[in-house]
Every structure is written in structure tokens, then in C-alpha cells.
Amino acid sequence: MKVLIIGSRIPWPLNDGGAIATYNLLKGLSELGIEVHYMSLNTKKHFVDEATIAKEFSFLKAIKPFTIDTSISPIKALLNVFQTSSYNIDRFTSLEFRDSIQAHINENNFDLIHFEGLFVSQYIDLIKTNTPTLLRQHNIEFHIWKTLANTTQFIPKKIYLNFLANRLEKFEKRIIQKFDAVVSITEEDNHFISTQNFKGLQCAIPAGIEIKENKDCKLDYHSIYHIGSMEWMPNQEAMAWFHNDIWPKVTVKNKLVKFYMAGKNMSEHYKNWQTTSFKVIGEVEDQNEFIADKSILVVPLKSGSGIRIKTIEAMLAGKAVVSTSQGAYGLSILHMEHCIIADNEADFANAILILQKDRELRGKLVRNSRKFAVENFGNVEISKKWVSIYDDAISRYSFEK
């Protein structure tokens, strides 16, 4: 089978959920014998040099990066108010990239074209092909923006976020109808596709995670952490809530507790949060080394969609997890079986304090969650599901044609 995958970024380094999901998809399919060609925007924000691309993606049949600047332009954002398109999508649109995609399609006989995420989905309107097409939805993007708007108190910002969400909603609901198949990362997002009277194939396939053996390391049971991309607005919102409302309730009852906040693209103002017990680390070179001696991951998300890959990785690494319901979205993990779910600051703080004291409960959650993660998110089994949906999409397209 020969597949073209079109992406919005080069998924490297593997320091955020989106990069991990795409990289493991590309590698998993290649290891199963699929001939994978990857054409992707190489954005200024996530730029990867040619030497690194050649080294880290040697398993692909072909990889063709296209350099583009998707940075937010205040002038273009303002002008977009008077247009009908979604500025979130416009930033990722390039007619030169379209021409490059079209030329590669014309030169190859692909069995299927896979669009990796909403931010390249618009290219289905810009290219010509007689090949079945598939869209993978990492998130229902407009849901994220609507939730952010609902939780924002500053009225001008709330109005603008709602404006962006409404534009994105119109685009998202329209564009999915153009594809022969839509694959969501979560069952919840798959249900949304069902409500849109989508006529093609649809299913949910979670992100695959590479299963590794955990190295022996002495845990610091007073050490908790969060790691995530701090350019993502839901993470910014989550950490502000944790720092301002949850953390004080933890430290007033446990003076030994220490919190470690890590993530890429962390703005300078977070350094003001630094104390002897609240450590602002920033981007880490080796995530596994960073989390090795820490015992509890906190996921205080109040908005967002898709699946929390960092949570799955923590479960595989033997960490206990305290999360909001939103943070556990799409994982099907159960309260007091795989993690503790808490949706207000008092309950969230108490959950952390309980896990630090109750080693029996912590051990139970760690064992259950690792078993659950291994059984449901191993990349080999997930990749086989992708081959199956590819086969179904190709067969259905050929039959209808």
C-alpha cells in the first residue's frame, strides 16, 4: 500500500502530544510495510533543519518539508474580521505548497491520501485527485476555542475568542464532508462527527504510544509535576488555575511538597512563579529523565479536546495522575480506578495530598493505569487499526467508483 500523508508540521522533537501522535503514526505504518510519503509544512514556530529531518525520518519512503511562516499577524488578523474565512486556517494555506502536493500526486500512484489534522484539511479543496481521502481529527478545534471563550472573564477577549470559534466551527463542519473517511482520536470526537450527518467511513483510533520498560528509580513521593506545551492556551489557563487556586491549598497542609513545571515555549512571566517549592523548569531536553523521580502528574485542564498523550505516557511510566474531567477527556480512565478526577480547586488539592500519604492507593492506581495504557495505546496494535481503516476506505472508494 502506498499512502501520502499531508501534515501541518514536522513532528520533531517529540516534546508535545501532537508531535508524538504524528511521529508514531508515521513510524508505526512504515514498520508494518506501508510505503509512506510525508509532505508537510515546516513552520517557523516548529522549524526542523534538513539534517535532522533526514536522520530522524529515515524510515519514510519520502519526506518533503515546505518552509512557511504561520505566525500570527495582528494586521492580517484584523483584516480577516472583514472576510468570511477562518484566520486559524488561513495561516496554514499556501498556494506554493498546494502546487507541490499536486505535483507529487501526479508523479505517484497513491492508494490513499491522508490529511493529518484540521490545519491542512483545506488543501482538499485546492488539489485534484481520484484517490480516496482521509482526515485525522486530533481535536474538534472549535470546541477548544468555545471553551476558552466561556472561561475567559475579560469581555473583549471573550468576544474575539467567540468570533474565532464561530468562524472555525463553520469551516470544520463544512470541510469534514469533503472526505471519504474521518478518523477521530477519541470516541467523544467521533460522536460529534456522527451528529454532522457524515456519509463516509468514520471511527475513533487513539494515538499510539511506544511501550518502553521503566528504569528503576527511587521516587520522591513529595514531588509532583506538569509537562506540556505552554504555547497552547488550554495549558496556560490550566497552569494559572493550578498556581493561583490549587497550589496554595496544597502547601498550607504539606510543607515538604515540591512542584515542577516543564514545557516548551514558556513565556518569561512564569519565572515570577519560581519559589523554593514551585520550580519553573521550562523546556527539558529529556522528558523521561525529567519525570523519572517524580510520583504524581497533575492535569488541571479546564478546556481542550482530543487526547492527553502526556497522561498516557505518565501512566506507562508508573506515575499517579490527578486530573480534571476535561484532562481525562477521551481516555476512558475511571476515577479511583486509574486516577483521581477532581474538578474544583479544593478537591484537586485534596487529591494530591491523599496520594502523597496513601501509598496503597497510589500503588493501586499506578498498576491499574499502566495495564490500561499498555492494552489500549501500544503503537503496534494502533498501527494495525490504521491499516484496517485504510483498507476499508480504499475498498469502499473502489466499490462506489
Can you give the three-state secondary structure of 48-107, one letter per residue? CCHHHHHHHCCCCCEEEEEEECCCCCHHHHHHHCCCCCCHHHHCCCCHHHHHHHHHHHHH
pLDDT(285) > 90: no
Q: How far is residue 335's CA from residue 328's CA, in Å, rounded to a whole number? A: 10
Mean pLDDT of all residues in 77-99: 90
- CATH, range 2-210+378-400: 3.40.50.2000
Residue-wise pLDDT for 151-163, tens only, equals 788 888 888 888 9
pTM of the model: 0.80
Per-residue model confidence (pLDDT) at position 216: 67
Residue 181, CA atoms < 13 Å, CB-side half-sphere: 26
Mean pLDDT of all residues in 104-128: 97
Per-residue model confidence (pLDDT) at position 153: 81
User: Cα separations (Å) of 328 from 292, 306, 388?
Assistant: 22, 10, 27
Q: Cell numbers for 200, please give them.
A: 463516509
Residue-wise pLDDT for 199-216, tens only, equals 999 999 999 998 877 766
Structure confidence at residue 401 as a pLDDT band (50, 70, 90): low
Q: Of all helices (H) and strands (E), which one includes residue 237?
A: helix 233-241
Residue-wise pLDDT for 345-365, tens only, equals 999 999 999 999 999 999 999
Q: What is the mean pLDDT of the chain?
A: 92
Per-residue model confidence (pLDDT) at position 109: 96
Mean pLDDT of all residues in 249-264: 95
Mean pLDDT of all residues in 116-132: 97
Q: Which of 59, 71, 66 lies closest to 6, judged by CA?
A: 66
Q: Which sequence spans correspond to the domains of the chain?
A: 2-210+378-400, 220-377
Q: How far is residue 189's CA from residue 118's CA, in Å, rounded to a whole number? A: 13
Per-residue model confidence (pLDDT) at position 149: 83
Structure confidence at residue 287 as a pLDDT band (50, 70, 90): confident
Amino acid at site 326? Q
Topology match between the domains 2-210+378-400 and 220-377: yes
Residue with the bigger pLDDT between 77 and 65: it is 65
pLDDT(305) > 70: no
Residue with the bigger pLDDT between 244 and 141: it is 244
pLDDT(325) > 60: yes
pLDDT(195) > 60: yes
pLDDT(333) > 70: yes
Share of the chain above pLDDT 90, in %: 71
Per-residue model confidence (pLDDT) at position 303: 81
CATH topology of domain 220-377: Rossmann fold (3.40.50)
pLDDT(389) > 70: yes
Paired strand residues for 223: 258
Per-residue model confidence (pLDDT) at position 92: 96
Q: How far is residue 325's CA from residue 90's CA, in Å, rounded to a whole number? A: 32
